Amino acid sequence: MLKITNLHANIEDKEILKGINLEINPGEVHAIMGPNGSGKSTLSSVIAGKEEYEMTEGEIIFEGGDLTELDPEERSHKGIFLSFQYPVEIPGVSVTNFMKASLNAHRKANGQEDMPANEMLKMIREKSELLEMDRKFLSRSLNQGFSGGEKKRNEIFQMAMLNPKLAILDETDSGLDIDALKIVANGVNKLKSKDNAVLVITHYQRLLDYIVPDFVHVMLDGKIVKSGTKELAYELEERGYDWIKQEQL
Amino acid sequence: MELKDKLISSFLAFEEAFDVDSDIHEVRSNAIKEFESLGFPSKKEEDWKYTSLNTVLKHDYSVFPKKEDALEYRDIKKYLIHDIDTYKLVFIDGIYSSHLSETTHDKIDVCLMSSALSKSKYKPIIDAYFNKIVPKNGLNSLNTAFSKEGAFIHIHKNKLADKPIQIVNFSTGNESALMVQPRNLIVVDENSQAQIIERHQSLTDHPVFTNSVTEIFAGKRAIVDYYKIQNDRASASLIDNTFVEQQEESVCSMHTFSFGGKLTRNNLNFYQRGERCDSTMKGITIIEDKQHVDHNTLVHHIFPNCESHQDYKGIFDENSTGVFNGKVLVEKEAQKINAFQSNNNILLDDKATINSKPQLEIFADDVKCSHGCTIGQLDEESLFYLRARGIPLKEARALLMYAFANNVLESVRIPELKKRITSQIALKLGVSLGFDL
Ligand SMILES: Nc1ncnc2c1ncn2[C@@H]1O[C@H](COP(=O)(O)OP(=O)(O)OP(=O)(O)O)[C@@H](O)[C@H]1O
Ligand SMILES: [Mg+2]
């Protein structure tokens, strides 16, 4: 589904990603762990098509097609979803209106008509219930004044609405209390199928108890330096990253 | 001949043709003398530093249109808020159109300035209110000198205007260039209410220059909501001079939506003449090309325990220019005042400019005043967020612009008008957002 080969990316002439290789197949759950500043969010932004980053080498193939020249919106239409580490606050646009604009943009890209309003509302209601979101959030301005946990829950609500092929969850667990973590993880698991895939970025093994990964990768200084199974996450939790850094030397 | 000279030499003919015997003959005669000595403002004046009238004044305007032009309702329907019942005062090339208008004298007076100025039953109101709060300057004097036609609205004590009132000024282009000077007087007595929508609309690309003066008086506890739609053609220029005087506990709001026109200047003054007044001035400006919109506001706080809120949003594309010059004056006696002012702007193009100048003059010591002015671009991070959710760049930009301006719309109290403005904004931004704005 996703194949990243030798990906190098710069921001303002500073190299952040230094040769990433990663392959994700349908039905798989991958986790990336790594210290602060190692480039995890950069990788997810590059996959999602953020223009500030300059790809200097390598390629990203999604469903057989090269992503490099595609705009963020086109990648979204192809089924890539990024749950932001820091969701942006947009005062003046309600969650509902935002979701309508987003979903209808997807439909338009697929040559479909706008979704009828009542169908849309029904779907919004269903998915917000899945995430146990209070109804009043739907009429509030997007993310404005939402708590950290509420923002993350709202991200997964959007994921549920858009039903992506590849969901990248960048630290979706940070800011969530235990109950919310279960609800959000449960939401992600319900959306899981043999045809889609999830890439989870996290600092905590805890999330991986709920969203169980098939593969765990360790990212250090812009490279994936180690990959393993979910046991690797336990080991990292226990031992930190120093031993891997040592291994690198 | 220069426009100034042309206007001055036309004055005698104007007075003779209409009513030399009129009570306000003297007011007009004095006004033309004032105009003669003051003339049109120039960029040398501090208040006109960023707005030049040169390109507006250069046309050879005809100052008295010949006759009423027959416009049909179907030609102008789209410029009206037509899906609700309203009173309408429609003027075509400055002349009242009875068949397009809907007036009333049933408990409230919604009629014509020309009849108010000539009929004796209105004399007390005219004596009490006409030309009482208009500051002396060239443009105001010019309007006063030629004041003859416009809207006259009088909501009597304890009465409610049962539907919104629309004042619509059309110019047909029958003249190769036209100057019109509407003169409106709006008196909303104690405990009364009115909602008014004003629009100037040119129907062809012939140059039009409108210099209008509106006086609004809000009695004790009166509520006045006034909305101006400025969405005219690139050949039309408007100088709107509006003055509002409020008695105690009155609540007045002015919303100005400036979406088009060659040059638009809004001179808007609020004078608070009693305690616990509440004044709101809001605006959304969205322009492009070489358009120019200038907001020049004043709130004069004279009494204690009052509030004023100013919130002006501007989005400027291409070579367009904006000016915001907002003055808040708090007199020594005006303690416990809350006065807020904000002016936020987005420049979409390197060539667009905005000059924003807040002026606070505060002589009282126990007041809460704040002002803020921002000039920026659309937030890249927000754009990426929207695009990552599949919303294309153009729509994402439009959504952010809409969001930026949205809080100004929240206080629009006529739902149909709000809908109309939002769809005008969507049209302006050239998008369909997948939901009704
Ligand atoms: N816009 C930017 N300008 C300059 N440097 C940047 C920019 N964005 C990211 N970086 C740098 O790139 C590096 C990688 O950042 P990134 O956000 O990808 O790390 P991360 O692995 O997600 O960290 P965390 O675990 O703290 O979220 C950091 O050193 C960061 O300072
Ligand atoms: Mg990160």
Residue B340: inside a domain:
no
Look at B399 and A87 and tell me if their CB atoms are within 8 Å: no
Look at B407 and A48 and tell me if their CB atoms are within 8 Å: no
Enter the pTM of the model.
0.88
CA distance A36 to A203: 9
What is the predicted pLDDT for the residue at A150? 93
CB contacts < 8 A (A, B): 93
Measured CA to CA in angstroms, residue B211 lies from B68, B142, B327 at distances of 19, 8, 22
Residues B386 and B270 in one domain: no
Is residue A38 lining ligand 1, measured as CB closer than 6 Å? Answer: yes
- Write the CATH number of the domain with boundaries A2-248: 3.40.50.300
A51 interaction partners in chain B (CB closer than 8 Å): 384
Tens-digit pLDDT profile for residues A115-159:
999 999 999 999 999 999 998 999 999 999 999 999 999 999 999
CB of B407 within 8 Å of any CB in chain A? yes
Q: How far is the CA of A203 from the centre of ligand 1 (A)?
A: 15
Q: How far is the CA of A174 from the centre of ligand 1 (A)?
A: 17
Determine phi and psi for B419, rounding to 5 degrees: -60, -45
Residue B318: inside a domain:
no
> Within 13 Å and on the Cβ side, how many CA atoms surround B429?
26
Give the residue whose CA is nearest to atom 19 of ligand 1: A37
As for how many domains chain B has, the answer is: 2
Q: How far is the CA of A236 from the centre of ligand 2 (A)?
A: 17
What is the predicted pLDDT for the residue at B435? 54
What is the predicted pLDDT for the residue at B20? 60
CA dihedral B171, B131, B144, B90 (to 10 degrees): 20
Cβ-contact B131, B27 below 8 angstroms: yes
Give the residue whose CA is nearest to atom 25 of ligand 1: A36
pLDDT one digit per residue (tens) for chain A, 249 residues: 999 999 999 999 999 999 999 999 999 999 999 999 999 999 999 999 999 999 999 999 999 999 999 999 999 999 999 999 999 999 988 999 999 999 999 999 999 999 999 999 999 999 999 999 998 999 999 999 999 999 999 999 999 999 999 999 999 998 899 999 999 999 999 999 999 999 999 999 999 999 999 999 999 999 999 999 999 999 998 999 999 888 877
B384 interaction partners in chain A (CB closer than 8 Å): 45, 48, 50-51, 72
Choose among A51, A73, A87: nearest Cβ to B392. Answer: A73
What is the predicted pLDDT for the residue at B16? 79
CB of B11 within 8 Å of any CB in chain A? no
Cβ-contact B224, B193 below 8 angstroms: yes
Q: How far is the CA of A42 from the centre of ligand 1 (A)?
A: 6
CA distance B221 to B188: 10
Tens-digit pLDDT profile for residues B194-223:
999 999 999 999 999 999 999 999 999 999
Give the residue whose CA is nearest to atom 9 of ligand 1: A42
Helix (H, G, I), strand (E, B) or coil at A124: helix
End-to-end Cα separation, chain B, in angstroms: 49
Q: Which ligand is nearest to the CA of A43?
A: 1
Is residue A39 lining ligand 1, measured as CB closer than 6 Å? Answer: yes
Taking the alpha carbons of A189, A191, A193, A196 in that order, is the dihedral positive or negative?
Answer: negative
- Degrees to nearest 5, angle at CA B54 with B51 and B57: 120
Q: Which of A7, A8, A10, A11 to mutate to test the pocket of ligand 1 (most atoms within 8 A of CB)?
A: A11
CB of A154 within 8 Å of any CB in chain B? no
Kindly report the nearest CA distance between residue A91 and chain B, in angstroms. Answer: 6
Q: Which residue carries 């004043």 as its tokens? A: B298
CA distance B85 to B87: 7
Q: Which of B232, B250, B274 is the last residue of a domain?
A: B274
Is residue A65 lining ligand 1, measured as CB closer than 6 Å? Answer: no
Tens-digit pLDDT profile for residues A26-39:
999 999 999 999 99
Residue A160 burial (CB count, 10 A) = 21
CA distance B140 to B163: 30
DSSP B276: T
Cβ-contact B437, B426 below 8 angstroms: yes
What is the predicted pLDDT for the residue at B437? 44
Q: How far is the CA of A19 from the centre of ligand 1 (A)?
A: 16
Cβ-contact B318, B329 below 8 angstroms: no
Q: Which of B248, B274, B300 is the last residue of a domain?
A: B274
Domain that holds residue B109: 3-274
A13 exposure class (CB count in 10 Å sphere: 0-12, 13-18, 19+): exposed
Q: Which of B234, B250, B274 is the last residue of a domain?
A: B274
User: What residue segments make up the domains of chain A, in order of their start?
Assistant: 2-248
pLDDT one digit per residue (tens) for chain B, 437 residues: 799 999 999 998 888 776 666 778 899 999 999 999 999 999 999 999 999 999 999 999 998 877 666 799 998 999 999 999 999 999 999 999 999 999 999 989 999 999 999 999 999 999 999 999 999 999 999 999 999 999 999 999 999 999 999 999 999 988 889 999 999 999 999 999 999 999 999 999 999 999 999 999 999 999 999 999 999 999 999 999 999 999 999 999 999 999 999 999 999 999 999 999 999 999 999 999 999 999 999 999 999 999 999 999 999 999 999 999 999 999 999 999 999 999 999 999 999 999 999 999 999 999 999 999 999 999 999 999 999 999 999 999 999 998 898 889 999 999 999 999 988 888 888 776 555 54
Residue B363: inside a domain:
no
